[in-house]
Amino acid sequence: NSKNINVPPSTSEEELLNLDTRELVNIIQSLRRDNRCYKLTLSYFDRTSKDLADNRDAVVTVLHFIDNIAATQTSLNNLTVNSRATTARESNIDKDFLQTTK
């Protein structure tokens, strides 16, 4: 990595020209490695941010679904059932209804 090379960050062009070929090659190779690492890191963050954006709708949908299930469960727990069964025959409806209300 470039941290292992003893070239100050404010190196002037003249100072670079005075370095021998091997030192320049080492600096260039180190800078290329660093550049590759930075590009891979940026690429990873780019893919990750796109994945998050693509999946955001799915996450919101799942959370909305879970919220609805919880609300339904709460409603069911507070539900009071008042049902009466009667016949469907018109002639018996009033008679059956009166029997279920007693």
Taking the C-alpha atoms of residue 27 and residue 7, their distance in angstroms, rounded to an integer, is 8
pLDDT of residue 76: 84
Contacts for 1-9: CB closer than 8 Å, 24+ residues apart: 1/30, 1/33, 1/34, 2/27, 2/30, 2/31, 2/34, 4/30, 5/30
Taking the C-alpha atoms of residue 22 and residue 65, their distance in angstroms, rounded to an integer, is 64
Q: What is the pLDDT along the chain (102 residues), one digit of tens a residue?
A: 445 555 556 668 888 888 899 999 999 999 999 999 999 999 999 999 888 888 888 889 999 999 999 999 888 888 777 766 666 666 666 776 666 666
